C-alpha cells in the first residue's frame, strides 16, 4: 500500500527531525511515560497470571469451604451426593523444634486425598533436584518448607518436635504457594498427616485453627455444591473457588498495581509537561516551513496530515521504544518477583502493552496535539513577513486538553473518579506549593541580584527574567527530587525514630495458648527466670451476636465499611481485668468498673476506635457467643489504648464476673531478661503446646517489608525524577535560541568563554539549588505530617536534608544545563547570529 503524500512527507520530516535531534525530548518523554506505565503493568500482570496458574494448587481442589470452627457433616454429605471427592485440612500456628532451634511455624494437618488438584513439589536437600509428590506425608512424618528447614537448621531424617510428639522430616517443600505475597508470613511451614494431629496435643480450647473442606469433581456438581454452601454459610465460614482464590493476595496485587500505577502516572504528568513544552517548540520551529508549504499550495488538511503524520509516527516510535524498554525491565525484574512470590511466574500478557500505548497516545494527544493543530492555521503571508502569524497555540486549550487527558488517565488507573480526583488534586496541590515556593525564592533573588557582579549577575538576571520558565523547571524537578527525598525520610528516619521511641522495657516476646492448668507453672517459671510479676490475662474467643437485644450479623455492618463488617463477622478475643491497667489504657468515656461491682451486672469496657467503627455507645448492651455459651454485658466505659506498648490489649474487656467459669486460655507479654535469653525456649520445651511470638523478629519483618515496599516505590519515583529532568531539558531547549543569541552578543562585546560558561552555570546552579531547597522543604513538611499522623511522633525537621536537596539539585541542573548549552559557548558568534 502506498502512503499518501501527507504521511510520506510526515515520515520524512520525522526522519530529519530525529537525525537533527529536534524531537529528542519529545521522544524521550514519550518513551518514559510508556515505559513507566507498561513496566509496572507487565510486572503486576505477571504476578496475576502466576496467581491464576497457581489457583488450583492454592486451593488444592476446585472449591474450598473455609471456617474458623469445625465444619459439620452436611457439606461432606452433599459433596458425596453430588459425586464430588472431598478432603480436609486444618492449619494453625505453633512452635516447631529441631535440636536446640525453636520457631513459631504454620502447621497444616492434611487428610488422606489432599490435594485433590495439583500437588506439592519436593526436594531432599536445599540443592537437590525437585520432584512431584503424590499425596501427603505418610503418618509419622512431616514435610517442611525449604526456607523453614533452613531457619530451623533441619535436614531430611531429623526428628521435629511438634507439640507433644515428634515427626520425622521426610522432604522439603519447594513450592510454598501459601507464601505468595504474604510478606509477614515468613514463618516455617510444616505439613503432616491429619491422623498425627491428636498426638501433638495442639488442638485445645482457644487454639486458633483454620478448617478447610476441599472438594473437586465435575464442574456442574462443584457449582451446585458451591451455590448450596453459599446459601447456607455459617458465621466465620467462607467459600473460595478457583476464580476467587486467595482474595487477600489478589487484592494486595490490585492495590500494588493501583498504587504503583498511580505513582507512575505522576511521572507521566511531568513527562506530559515536557511533551507540551517540546511540542510547542517543535511547532514554532516548523512555522516557516508550514508557511512555505501553504504558499506552495498545501491546504490546511495537507499541513495537518504532514505534521499530524509526523506526530503519529513519533508516537508509534516512542511507544514502541517505551514498550521494549518496559519489557526488558520486567524481564530483568522477573527473577526478583519470582523469588518474592515463591513461585515460577509466567510471561506477561499484551494488555499492559496496550495500556502503555494508550498512555503514550493520550500524552501525545493531550499535550502535543494542540500546538501541532495550530500549525495548520499558519498564514501563507508569513513567507513575506515573519512577524505575522506569531504563533499562539492557545495555551488555555493546551492546558485544558492536557488536564482532561490526565484526569482520564488517573481515573482509569485509580479505578474510581474520587480516588483519581484525590490523586490529581494531590499532584496539582504539590505542584502549586512547589511553584509558590519556587516563585518566592526567585523573588528573593531579585533583591540579591543587584549586589552581584560579573557572570553571576548575568546568570541570576536570567533566572529572574525568565521567571516563568524558571518556576516550571523548579517545580518539575522539585517534584521528582521531593519524591525521592521523601522516600528516604520515611524509609530510614521515621521508621528508625519510631523504633527508637519504643520504651526500653517494652515486651519482646508474646506467649500464646497458655492453658489454665499450665498457668501457675508458667508463671512460676517466668518469675524464676527473672521476669517480674508477669501479666497473663485470660482470653476467650467470642463472636458478636446481638446489640441492644437485636441479633446482628456482619452484613448488618456493611454500611459502616469493610472493617466494621469484618470485625462483626470474625471471632475476636475477650479478656477481663479487675482494674484498669495504667500506662497504656485510659478511660475516655464512662467509668471503669470497681472491684466491688455486683456480680450479676456484667460490664464491658470497649476500645474507643473499635466502638466508633461499630457504632457502639456507652450504655449499649452487647451480646456474644463464647463457643456456645451466651454472654451479654453493658458498655460502661470507653478506653483509649496505646497499642505500641506491646502489652496484651483487647478491644473488649469484660468485668471479672462475666468470664468467671468460662474455659479460657491465657496470653502474656514479657521482656526476656538480657541475662536469660533462652528463657522462652526452655518454657516451650516444658510446655510444648505454648507458642512464642518473637516481637523483635516481627519488628525486623516490618522493617524488611517497609524496605521492600520502599524499593518498589523508589524505582517508580526514579521515573518521576527522570521526567523532572526532561521538563528541565525541554525548558532549556525552549530558551536555546534566545541563549545562543545572547551568548553571541556577549561574545561580540568581548566576553570570554570562561565568563560565558560561568554565567550559564550560575543560572543553572541557582535553579538547581532552589529546586532542591523547595523539594527538601516540601518533603520535610509531608514527612512531618506522616510523623504526626501515622507514627504519632513529634516532628523533628532535619535541616541537613535541605543541604542535600540543594546539592543534588545544583548538580543535576548544573551538569545537564552545561551539556545542553555548550553550543552557546562554542558556536562562532557571527554564524549564530546569521543562523538566527
Binding residues for other proteins (CB under 8 A): 5, 8-9, 12-13, 16-17, 20, 22, 288-289, 291-302, 379-381, 383-385, 835
Q: How far is CA 21 from the centre of its chain?
A: 38
337-350 as b/e, with b when 16 or more CB fall inside 10 Å? beebbbbebeebee
Angle at which helices 467-488 and 454-465 pack, to 10 degrees? 90
What is the Cα–Cα distance from 437 to 693, expressed in whole angstroms?
48
CA distances (Å), 530 to each of 41, 512, 671, 680, in order? 54, 19, 10, 12
Cis status of the peptide bond prior to 35, with omega within 30 of 0: no
* CB half-sphere exposure, 320, CA atoms < 13 A: 6
CA distances (Å), 391 to each of 17, 288, 383, 387, in order? 20, 11, 14, 10
What is the Cα–Cα distance from 811 to 767, expressed in whole angstroms?
10
| Measured distance between the N- and C-terminal CA atoms of the chain, rounded to whole angstroms | 41
Q: How far is CA 520 from the centre of its chain?
A: 45
Give the shortest CB-821-to-other proteins separation in angstroms. 20
Give the residue with the Cβ less far from other proteins, 26 or 179.
Answer: 26
**Beta-carbon neighbour count of residue 30 at 10 Å?**
32
Q: Could you tell me if 513 and 691 are in contact, meaning their C-beta atoms sit under 8 angstroms apart?
A: yes
Residue (of 737, 733, 735) closest to 833 by Cα position: 737
Residue (of 181, 235, 199) closest to 50 by Cα position: 181
Give the residue with the Cβ less far from other proteins, 242 or 383.
Answer: 383
Which sign, positive or negative, has the C-alpha torsion 779, 780, 786, 787? positive
Q: How far is CA 466 from the centre of its chain?
A: 39
CA distances (Å), 648 to each of 38, 456, 512, in order? 46, 64, 10
For residues 427, 433, 435, 437, the Cα torsion angle rounded to the nearest 10 degrees is -150
Residue 122, helix vs strand vs coil:
strand
Residue 55, helix vs strand vs coil:
helix
Is 451 buried (19+), middle (13-18) or exposed (0-12) by CB count in 10 A?
exposed
Give the residue with the Cβ less far from other proteins, 291 or 732.
Answer: 291
All three cell numbers of 361, joined, read: 497516545
CA distances (Å), 320 to each of 206, 406, 489, 716, in order? 59, 21, 36, 20
All three cell numbers of 108, joined, read: 497444616
Q: Which residues have a Cβ under 8 Å from the Cβ of 747 and sit 6 or more positions away?
A: 756, 829
| Strand bridging mode 189-193 / 210-216 | unpaired
Give the residue with the Cβ less far from other proteins, 291 or 526.
Answer: 291
Give the residue with the Cβ less far from other proteins, 384 or 436.
Answer: 384
What is the Cα–Cα distance from 142 to 644, expressed in whole angstroms?
37
What is the Cα–Cα distance from 245 to 59, expressed in whole angstroms?
7
What is the Cα–Cα distance from 289 to 427, expressed in whole angstroms?
38
The β-bridge partners of 189 are: 106
Residue (of 687, 587, 569, 538) closest to 164 by Cα position: 687
Place of cell 502569524: 389
Phi, psi of 161 (to 5 degrees): -80, 120
Angle at which helices 454-465 and 753-789 pack, to 10 degrees? 50
Residue (of 720, 742, 725) closest to 820 by Cα position: 725
Residue 420, helix vs strand vs coil:
helix
What is the Cα–Cα distance from 544 to 551, expressed in whole angstroms?
9
Is 239 buried (19+), middle (13-18) or exposed (0-12) by CB count in 10 A?
middle
Residue 170, helix vs strand vs coil:
strand
Amino acid at each position: 500500500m502506498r502512503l499518501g503524500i501527507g504521511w510520506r512527507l510526515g515520515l520524512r520530516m520525522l526522519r530529519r527531525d530525529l537525525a537533527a535531534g529536534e524531537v529528542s525530548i519529545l521522544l524521550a518523554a514519550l518513551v518514559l511515560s510508556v515505559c513507566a506505565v507498561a513496566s509496572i503493568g507487565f510486572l503486576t500482570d505477571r504476578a496475576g497470571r502466576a496467581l491464576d496458574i497457581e489457583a488450583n494448587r492454592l486451593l488444592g481442589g476446585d472449591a474450598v469451604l473455609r471456617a474458623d470452627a469445625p465444619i459439620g457433616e452436611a457439606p461432606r454429605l452433599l459433596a458425596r451426593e453430588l459425586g464430588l471427592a472431598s478432603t480436609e485440612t486444618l492449619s494453625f500456628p505453633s512452635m516447631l523444634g529441631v535440636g536446640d532451634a525453636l520457631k513459631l511455624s504454620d502447621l497444616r494437618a492434611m487428610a488422606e486425598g489432599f490435594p485433590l488438584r495439583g500437588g506439592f513439589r519436593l526436594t531432599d536437600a536445599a540443592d537437590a533436584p525437585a520432584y512431584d509428590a503424590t499425596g501427603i506425608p505418610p503418618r509419622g512424618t512431616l514435610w517442611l518448607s525449604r526456607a523453614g528447614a533452613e531457619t530451623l537448621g533441619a535436614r531430611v531424617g531429623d526428628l521435629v518436635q511438634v507439640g507433644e510428639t515428634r515427626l520425622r522430616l521426610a522432604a522439603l517443600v519447594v513450592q510454598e504457594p501459601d507464601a505468595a505475597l504474604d510478606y509477614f508470613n515468613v514463618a516455617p511451614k510444616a505439613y503432616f498427616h491429619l491422623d498425627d494431629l491428636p498426638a501433638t496435643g495442639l488442638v485445645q480450647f482457644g487454639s486458633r485453627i483454620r478448617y478447610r473442606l476441599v472438594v473437586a469433581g465435575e464442574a456442574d456438581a462443584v457449582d451446585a455444591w458451591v451455590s448450596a454452601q453459599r446459601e447456607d454459610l455459617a458465621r466465620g465460614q467462607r467459600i473460595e473457588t478457583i476464580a476467587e482464590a486467595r482474595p487477600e493476595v489478589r487484592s494486595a496485587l490490585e492495590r500494588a498495581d493501583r498504587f504503583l500505577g498511580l505513582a507512575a502516572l505522576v511521572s507521566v504528568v511531568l513527562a506530559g509537561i515536557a511533551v507540551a513544552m517540546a511540542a510547542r517548540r517543535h511547532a514554532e520551529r516548523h512555522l516557516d516551513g508550514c508557511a512555505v508549504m501553504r504558499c506552495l499550495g498545501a491546504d490546511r488538511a495537507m499541513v495537518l496530515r504532514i505534521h499530524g503524520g509526523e506526530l503519529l509516527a513519533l508516537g508509534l516510535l516512542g511507544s514502541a521504544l517505551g514498550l521494549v524498554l518496559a519489557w526488558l525491565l520486567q524481564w530483568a525484574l522477573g527473577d526478583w518477583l519470582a523469588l518474592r512470590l515463591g513461585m515460577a511466574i509466567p510471561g506477561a500478557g499484551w494488555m499492559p502493552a496496550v495500556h502503555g500505548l494508550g498512555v503514550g497516545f493520550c500524552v501525545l494527544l493531550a499535550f502535543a496535539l494542540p500546538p501541532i493543530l495550530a500549525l495548520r492555521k499558519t498564514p501563507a503571508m508569513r513567507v513575506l513577513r515573519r512577524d505575522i502569524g506569531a504563533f499562539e497555540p492557545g495555551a488555555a486549550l493546551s492546558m485544558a486538553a492536557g488536564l482532561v487527558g490526565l484526569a482520564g488517565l488517573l481515573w482509569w488507573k485509580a479505578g474510581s473518579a474520587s480516588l483519581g480526583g484525590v490523586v490529581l488534586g494531590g499532584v496539582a496541590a504539590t505542584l502549586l506549593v512547589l511553584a509558590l515556593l519556587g516563585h518566592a525564592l526567585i523573588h528573593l533573588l531579585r533583591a540579591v541580584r543587584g549586589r552581584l557582579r560579573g557572570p553571576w549577575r548575568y546568570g541570576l538576571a536570567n533566572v529572574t527574567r525568565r521567571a516563568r520558565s524558571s518556576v516550571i523547571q523548579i517545580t518539575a524537578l522539585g517534584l521528582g527530587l521531593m519524591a525521592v527525598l521523601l522516600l528516604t525520610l520515611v524509609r530510614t528516619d521515621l521508621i528508625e525514630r519510631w523504633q527508637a521511641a519504643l520504651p526500653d522495657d517494652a515486651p519482646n516476646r508474646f506467649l500464646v495458648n497458655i492453658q489454665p492448668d499450665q498457668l501457675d507453672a508458667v508463671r512460676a517459671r517466668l518469675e524464676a527466670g527473672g521476669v517480674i510479676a508477669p501479666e497473663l490475662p485470660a482470653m476467650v474467643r467470642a463472636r458478636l451476636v446481638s446489640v441492644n437485644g437485636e441479633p446482628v450479623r456482619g452484613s448488618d455492618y456493611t454500611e459502616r465499611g469493610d472493617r466494621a463488617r469484618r470485625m462483626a463477622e470474625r471471632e475476636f478475643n475477650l479478656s477481663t481485668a479487675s482494674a484498669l491497667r495504667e500506662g497504656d489504657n485510659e478511660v475516655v468515656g464512662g467509668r471503669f468498673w470497681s472491684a466491688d461491682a455486683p456480680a450479676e451486672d456484667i460490664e464491658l469496657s470497649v476500645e474507643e476506635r473499635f466502638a466508633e467503627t461499630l457504632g457502639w455507645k456507652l450504655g449499649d448492651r452487647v451480646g456474644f457467643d463464647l463457643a456456645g455459651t451466651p454472654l451479654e454485658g453493658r458498655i460502661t466505659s470507653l478506653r483509649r489504648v496505646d497499642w505500641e506498648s506491646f502489652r496484651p490489649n483487647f478491644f473488649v474487656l469484660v468485668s471479672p464476673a462475666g468470664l468467671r467459669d468460662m474455659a479460657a486460655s491465657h496470653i502474656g507479654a514479657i521482656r526476656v531478661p538480657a541475662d536469660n535469653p533462652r528463657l522462652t525456649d526452655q518454657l516451650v520445651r516444658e510446655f510444648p503446646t505454648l507458642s512464642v511470638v518473637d516481637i523483635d523478629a516481627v519488628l525486623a519483618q516490618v522493617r524488611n517489608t517497609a524496605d521492600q515496599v520502599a524499593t518498589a516505590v523508589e524505582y517508580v519515583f526514579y521515573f518521576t525524577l527522570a521526567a523532572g529532568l526532561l521538563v528541565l531539558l525541554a525548558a532549556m531547549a525552549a530558551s536555546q535560541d534566545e541563549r545562543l543569541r545572547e551568548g553571541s552578543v556577549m561574545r561580540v562585546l568581548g566576553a570570554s568563554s570562561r565568563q560565558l560558561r560561568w554565567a550559564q552555570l550560575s543560572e543553572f546552579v541557582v535553579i538547581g539549588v532552589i529546586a532542591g531547597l523547595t523539594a527538601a522543604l516540601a518533603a520535610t513538611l509531608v514527612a512531618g505530617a506522616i510523623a504526626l499522623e501515622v507514627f504519632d511522633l513529634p516532628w523533628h525537621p532535619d535541616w541537613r536534608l535541605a543541604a542535600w536537596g540543594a546539592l543534588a539539585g545544583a548538580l543535576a541542573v548544573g551538569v545537564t544545563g552545561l551539556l545542553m548549552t555548550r553550543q552557546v559557548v562554542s558556536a562562532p558568534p557571527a554564524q549564530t547570529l546569521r543562523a538566527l
